[in-house]
Chain A
C-alpha cells in the first residue's frame, strides 16, 4: 500500500516537472550545497589509487576501520564502533540493510562513481541525521550544478586487478543547462576468488556488482529546484569466505524527491526537504558450500520510507542548521531449514519477526563565531523511537511477556570550542547522547554470528545506550609542515553486547551456544590519531598517520574489534604529467584482544604499496592511466577485524584508465 502511494507520488512529481512552463529570465544563483560546519572528505579516490571502491575509499579515513568477511561489502566501524552505533545515510536518507549477518552494510549499495563525497562526523556532532553514539557517515550523491550554457560532461573508467581478476567499468554522464540537469551513472564489477600471500586461492571470495543511478534536477524558480533521484544496485553471487554462506542476490532501490529553496535575504538561507523510499532484498545461499550438511534459506527484506527537511539559518556571525528526520522501516528476515530428507517437513522461524522501527527527531546544530579566531559549536537533538514486533511470540520465547511495542526518547547534546592561535589550532568538545537498540539487538532471534559461533537473541527491553564523550584536538600548520592530533574518549553506559545465555540451545548448524544481547554497566573507548604532512620539495610530499584505540568493558576486559596501534606513511612525487606514490601501512600486534568475544591474538603485519600514473590528452579527452601494486611483497596476513582470520589479499597488480570529457 505504502509502496503504491509512493509510486503515485513519484509519477506525479515527475509528470509535474515536465509540465512546468520554462521561465526565461534568471539571475545566476548557484545551487551549491551550503556546507556550514561539515568537514567533508572530497573526491572519491585515495592517494594511492584513483579507481577505488567505496570501501577502499572509506578505509583511507583515520577513524574508519572495517570488519571484513571477504572481498565485498566491508562493515565500516566508526571510532571502533560497529554499525549499530553509527548512522549511515545516503544524502541524509536512512537505509537499513536486509541481512541479519551484516553482509550488506549500506555502503555496499552505492558505487564510487555516483558519490561526490563522504561526510564523516565523529560522536554527537553526527547527531544531525538521528541518534548515534559513534557518529555519522553520510554518503553524498553527485549533484551537478546548473550552467548558463548547455553542457555535457562525463567520465569513463575501466580497469583490471590481477589478483582476483577483477574487471570493472564505471561510467557517468551529466547534462546541465540553465533550467535542467540530468545525470546518470552505471558500473559493473566482476571479480573472481582472490589469492592470499601464500598464493593460495581464498575460495568463495568472488563477487559481481551492478550499480546505476539517475538524477534529474529542475530549476523551478531562480532560487528553487526540484530533484528526483534513484539508485539501483544489484549484487549476484557474492562470496563471503568468512561466513558459512554466500549471497545469491541482493538488490536495492533507493529513491527520493527533493525540493530545495534558497533565500537571498533574511535569517533563513536554505530550506531543503526530501521524501524518500528505499527497499532492499537480500537472499543468502549456502548450497554452494559442500561442508553444509543442512541447508538454510535466510531471505531478508528491509523497506524504509521517510522525510528529511533541513533549514540553514545565518545572521552575522551566527549560523545554524535545523533538521527534521522521520522514517519508517520494516525489517523482515526468515530462516527455513531443510532436513536431509527433503520430503520431510521443513523448519521455519523468523530471525527478524517483522520489526517496524519508526523514528522522528529534530536536530539542531549551531555555530557561533565568537571572534575571528574562535568559534563555538553546539547543538543537540531529540528523537522519538518506536518499535513494534509483529510476531512477538518469537521474542517471548526468551523474554516472556515483553511488550509488543516500545517507545523510547533519545536526547542528545554536544558543544565544542575551537581556537586558532597563530599557526596552531586547538579544539575541545563534549557530548551526551542516547541510542536505541538496533533491530537485531532488540528483536533478533537466533542470528548466527560466525565470528564467535554463537546464536544471538535480541532483548526488546534493553535500556538505551547512553554515551558521554569528550574530544580534543591540536594542530599546527605552516607552508611546509602540518600536523594534527585528535583524541576522543567515550564512556558508554548500558553498553549492548552479547553474553552467553545458560538457557537455550543453539539452532544453527555450526553454532556452539546461545548469546543474548545484554547491557554492560558501561564500557569505555579511547581513540587517538596523529596525522602529519610534510612538503619536502615542491613536488614531493609526505604524509603519515598513526592511530591507536583502546576499548574496555566494566570489568577492565577488552572489547572486541578495537584496532591495535596502526600506521600509514605515504610518499608522493609529481613530475609534469607523471605521478608516483608509495605507501607502507600496517598494524602492530594486537595485544589487547578479547577471547571472551571470540578474538584471538593477531600478529603484526606490514604492507607496501606502489603506484604510478600518467595523464595525457587523447583527442580531447583528459586521460589518466595508472598502474600499481598493493601488497607488493606478497605478505600473508589477516587483520584484527578479519572475520574468522581469513587472510587478506596477496600481491595485487592493478591498472586503470580514466577518460574525462
Chain B
C-alpha cells in the first residue's frame, strides 16, 4: 500500500517534471538568421611587377553593401610589406552594353602604420551576376613608377539583412546611398545603429583614359541627419514601433551613428528621412503612428528592411 502510494507520487513527479512544451532557447533564436563576420581574411590577391597585392575583407568575401577593406602590398623580391605608399582604389562594374559604373568607395586608401595595411571601404551596389561584373583598379607608386592594375572580383549576396543597403535619387536630383554597417547581430535591446551615407558626384570634366577617377566620384555626405523610425511591417504586427530610438548623426570617422531599439525578434523596417545640413528633406516621408493590425505596415519613401 505504502509502496503503491509512493510509486504513484514518483510516477506523477517524473511525468510532470518534463514540460509539455519546450522553452525557447533564446540564444539560438537570435542566431537563427544572422551570420556574423569578425575576421578579416584575404578576399582576393594577385601578382604584378614583382608585387603581391592582397585585399582583405570580413570573412574573406565581398558582399553587396558596405565592405571594409584592408589592402596589403608585398614586394615579392624581398618579401617586405610596402609601407606608406600612396594607393588608389577604384571599383568598376561593367553591366549591360559594357556600361561602366562605380559605387561609393574610398579612392585614396589610408595607411595604417601600426598594422601595416591600407584601409578603405567599398559599398557594392550589386552582386556579381551574368550581367554585372566587378573589377577593382588599384594604383600605387613603385620606385618612382606609377603602376596600375585591375583584377576582377566576385561580389556575393549579403544574407545578413542587417547589412542591407539602399540607393536612391534625392529630392535634389542627386544619387545617394545608405549602407548599414552595424549591428550585424541585433538583439532585443538598445542597438547602436551605424550607417554610411554617400553621394555620387556627376562628372564635371570630359572623360579621360579609362578608368578616369574623375568620372567615378563619390563622397561621404557631411553633417546630414538621418531620422529613424523602426517598424514591424508584418500585417500581424500592425506597424508596431519601439521607444527610445536615436536619430543618426555623423561622428568623427565619417560614419553615422544612432540607436535603434528592437522590441522583439522578427522582421523590421528601418524607416528613414534624410535631412541635409540645412535640415532640408533629401528623401523620406513620415510614417503614420496609427496601429494598423491586419494591414501591411506603411513605410517611408526611404527605408531598409532588416530581419533578425
Contacts and interface: CB of A to CB of B under 8 A. Distances in A.
Interface of A: 3, 7, 10-11, 14-15, 17-18, 180, 182, 184, 214, 216, 228, 230, 232, 249, 251, 253, 255, 279, 281, 283, 293-294, 299, 301, 332, 334-340, 344-350, 391, 393-394, 396-398, 400, 446, 501, 503-507, 509-513
A511 B8 CA distance: 45
A506 B234 CA distance: 13
B21 A281 contact: yes
B111 to A, nearest CB: 39
Contacts of B135: none
A228 B9 contact: yes
A370 to B, nearest CB: 48
A348 B293 contact: no
Contacts of A346: 266
Interface stretch (B22-30, B53-61, B277-285): B22-30
Bin chain B's interface residue count. Answer: 35 or more
Given A17-B2, A294-B293, 10 more contacts: A7-B17, A14-B6, A182-B1, A230-B9, A249-B20, A337-B236, A345-B32, A345-B267, A348-B26, A397-B243
25 contacts: A15-B6, A214-B8, A214-B9, A255-B9, A293-B293, A294-B236, A334-B23, A337-B237, A337-B266, A338-B236, A339-B236, A345-B32, A345-B33, A345-B266, A347-B234, A348-B24, A349-B265, A396-B189, A504-B241, A504-B243, A504-B263, A505-B241, A505-B289, A506-B238, A509-B236
Interface string B281-308: 0000000010101100000000000010
Contacts of A349: 188, 263-265
3 smallest A-B Cβ distances: which pairs? A347-B266, A349-B264, A393-B189
B18 to A, nearest CB: 10
Contacts, number: 154
State the main secondary structure of chain A at its contact with B: mixed
A350 B10 CA distance: 32
B203 interface: no
A511 B291 contact: yes
A506 B241 CA distance: 8
Contacts of B289: 505
Nearest to A218: B2
A339 B234 contact: yes
Nearest to B235: A340
A257 to B, nearest CB: 11
A347 B9 contact: no
A332 B21 CA distance: 13
B263 to A, nearest CB: 5
B187 interface: yes
Contacts of B23: 299, 301, 332, 334
B228 to A, nearest CB: 14
B144 to A, nearest CB: 57
A511 B294 CA distance: 12
- Among B240, B241, B293, residue most surrounded by chain A Cβ atoms (within 10 Å): B240
Given A293-B294, A335-B264, A398-B244, A279 B16 contact: yes
A18 B5 CA distance: 11
A35 B262 CA distance: 54
A180 B1 CA distance: 12
A85 to B, nearest CB: 28
A431 B270 CA distance: 53
A507 B237 contact: yes
Contacts of B263: 349, 397, 446, 504, 507
B113 interface: no
- Among B8, B12, B234, residue most surrounded by chain A Cβ atoms (within 10 Å): B234
A611 to B, nearest CB: 36
A232 B33 contact: no
A126 to B, nearest CB: 30
Interface string B100-139: 0000000000000000000000000000000000000000
B20 A281 contact: yes
B229 to A, nearest CB: 10
A344 B234 contact: yes
Contacts of B189: 393-394, 396-397
Interface string B153-174: 0000000000000000000000
Given A301-B19, A339-B235, A11 B10 contact: yes
A468 to B, nearest CB: 35
Contacts of B2: 17-18, 180, 182, 216
A511 B3 CA distance: 53
Contacts of A340: 234-236
Contacts of B267: 339, 344-345, 347
Interface in B27-80: 29, 32-33
Nearest to A513: B291
Contacts of A180: 2
A507 B13 contact: no
A617 to B, nearest CB: 29
Contacts of B142: none
A509 B16 contact: no
B266 A348 contact: yes
A152 to B, nearest CB: 12
B13 A253 contact: yes
A397 B244 contact: yes
B266 A512 contact: no
B6 A18 contact: yes
A346 B10 CA distance: 38
Nearest to B245: A503
A281 B18 CA distance: 10
B232 interface: yes
A301 B23 CA distance: 9
Contacts of A507: 237, 240, 263-264
A509 B1 CA distance: 54
Contacts of A344: 234, 267
B20 A336 contact: no
Contacts of A398: 243-244
A184 B8 CA distance: 11
B188 A394 contact: yes
Contacts of B1: 182
Nearest to B12: A232
B207 interface: no
Contacts of A335: 264
A258 to B, nearest CB: 15
Nearest to A283: B21
A442 B29 CA distance: 25
A376 B21 CA distance: 52
Contacts of A17: 2
Nearest to B308: A345
A230 B241 CA distance: 46
Interface in B224-279: 232, 234-244, 261-267
B235 A255 contact: no
Nearest to A338: B236
B190 interface: yes
B21 A400 contact: no
B237 A347 contact: yes
Contacts of A11: 10
Contact of B16 (A216, A253, A350, A397): A253
Contact of A505 (B8, B26, B33, B291): B291
B179 to A, nearest CB: 23
B264 A347 contact: yes
A3 B236 contact: no
B296 to A, nearest CB: 10
